[in-house]
């Protein structure tokens, strides 16, 4: 398991050395819906993530023509390893088919990736952690409907100095006054202790705890130690989040701890599955929810 972490660290260092890896000076949120990008100076909580902005979206939500169906909300959560493996495209195309929400870590704003997404989930946002071969890379949420609120957080790795990011979106539901919060996180990885990891989780918690309705919190948490898992568990307890049963337990484990998670609240699980793949160093998690009445 230690080799897994060492390999990731070596890859990142080699990428930096090879000059195909660079870091934006500011938080940078890219939107495929409007073909625009927003840059804000503030770490870990930029201006668009303010409590006032979230409350405004909840109290006076925009009225998009398309709404999520509360009786079936399907998601996939997957770290795609920057789409570096030869067989990633076939799996990606298959797995995102029929999904209302696609949560990706190590996503890259690359034409071949975006083309596959926009054919099925045209409304996407990417929170940039770094540039990989000149393209924005980080966490991405794509959906079949547009969000009414979107904000990005970022936290810099204390050792390798590469930011990890969080993306938080709000989606209205059809025939309901409820609004669904969806958060996608790529957790801090390379630390000697847990201080920076805790800061990242708490920054996300600061935003999402304002939401009283249903939510899905998912991602690559890099919860590979008992101390890290304790921080995640404390967050889920505070937010009254539930865990999946993971009937098909194919999640990647490091030091015995699973690092990919899907948590939820105010929803019931219809079906869930973790798929074993060779197209990434993580296995995707697929879940179908319905709004709890």
pLDDT at 9: 52
Sign of the torsion angle spanned by Cα atoms 256, 203, 109, 244: positive
Sorted by sequence, the CB contacts under 8 Å of residue 10 that are 6+ apart come out as: none
Q: Would you call 249 exposed, middle or buried from its count of C-beta atoms within 10 A (0-12, 13-18, 19+)?
A: exposed
| Res. 1: pLDDT tops 60 | no
- pLDDT tens for residues 179-214? 999 999 999 999 999 999 999 999 999 999 999 999
pLDDT at 38: 58
| Res. 70: pLDDT tops 60 | yes
Section 233-238 average pLDDT:
98
Of 17-31, 41-55, 89-103, 146-160, give the range with the top mean pLDDT.
89-103
Quick one: pLDDT band at residue 57, thresholds 50, 70, 90? confident
Question: How much of the chain, in percent, has pLDDT values that exceed 70?
Answer: 86
Quick one: pLDDT band at residue 63, thresholds 50, 70, 90? low
Section 248-271 average pLDDT:
97
143-176 burial: b if 16+ Cβ within 10 Å, else e: bbbbbbbbbbbbbbbeeeebbbbbbbbbbbbeeb
| Res. 238: pLDDT tops 80 | yes
- Is residue 218 within 8 Å of residue 75, measured between CB atoms? yes
- pLDDT tens for residues 134-147? 999 999 999 999 99
- pLDDT tens for residues 89-104? 999 999 999 999 999 9
- pLDDT tens for residues 114-168? 999 999 999 999 999 999 989 999 999 999 999 999 999 999 999 888 999 999 9
- Is residue 80 within 8 Å of residue 92, measured between CB atoms? yes
Nearest to 108 by CA among 95, 87, 89, 91: 89
Q: Name the CATH topology of 2-291.
A: Deoxyribonuclease I; Chain A (3.60.10)
pLDDT at 284: 98
pLDDT at 61: 66
DSSP 196: H
Instruction: Write down the mean pLDDT value for the chain.
Output: 88
Q: Residue 59, CB half-sphere, CA atoms under 13 Å: how many?
A: 7
Quick one: pLDDT band at residue 7, thresholds 50, 70, 90? low
| Domain residue ranges of the chain, discontinuous segments joined by + | 2-291
Q: What does DSSP say about strands 123-132 and 135-143: parallel, antiparallel, or unpaired? A: antiparallel
pLDDT at 209: 93
| Res. 6: pLDDT tops 60 | no
């Amino acid at each position: 398991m230690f080799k897994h972490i060492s390999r990731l660290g070596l890859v990142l260092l080699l990428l930096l050395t090879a000059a195909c890896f660079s870091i934006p000076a500011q938080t940078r949120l890219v939107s495929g819906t409007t073909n625009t990008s927003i840059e804000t100076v503030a770490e870990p909580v930029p201006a668009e993530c303010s409590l006032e902005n979230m409350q405004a979206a909840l109290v006076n939500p925009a009225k998009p023509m398309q709404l999520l169906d509360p009786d079936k909300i399907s998601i996939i959560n997957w770290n795609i390893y920057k789409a570096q493996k030869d067989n990633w495209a076939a799996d990606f195309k298959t797995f995102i088919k029929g999904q209302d929400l696609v949560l990706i870590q190590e996503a890259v704003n690359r034409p071949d990736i975006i083309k596959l997404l926009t054919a099925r989930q045209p409304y996407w946002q990417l929170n940039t952690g770094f540039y990989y071969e000149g393209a924005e890379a980080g966490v991405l949420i794509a959906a079949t409907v547009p969000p009414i609120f979107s904000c990005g957080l970022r936290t810099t790795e204390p050792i390798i100095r590469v930011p990890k990011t969080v993306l938080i979106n709000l989606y209205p539901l059809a025939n309901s006054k409820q609004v669904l919060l969806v958060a996608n996180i790529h957790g801090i990885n390379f630390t000697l202790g847990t201080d920076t990891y805790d800061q990242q989780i708490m920054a996300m918690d600061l935003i999402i705890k304002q939401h009283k309705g249903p939510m899905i919190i998912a991602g690559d948490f890099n919860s590979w130690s008992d101390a890290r898992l304790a921080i995640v568990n404390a967050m889920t307890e505070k937010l009254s989040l539930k865990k999946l049963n993971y009937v098909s337990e194919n999640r990647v484990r490091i030091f015995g701890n699973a690092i990919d998670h899907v948590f939820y609240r105010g929803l019931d699980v219809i079906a869930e599955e973790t798929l074993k793949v060779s197209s990434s160093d993580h296995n995707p998690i697929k879940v179908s929810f319905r709004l709890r009445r």
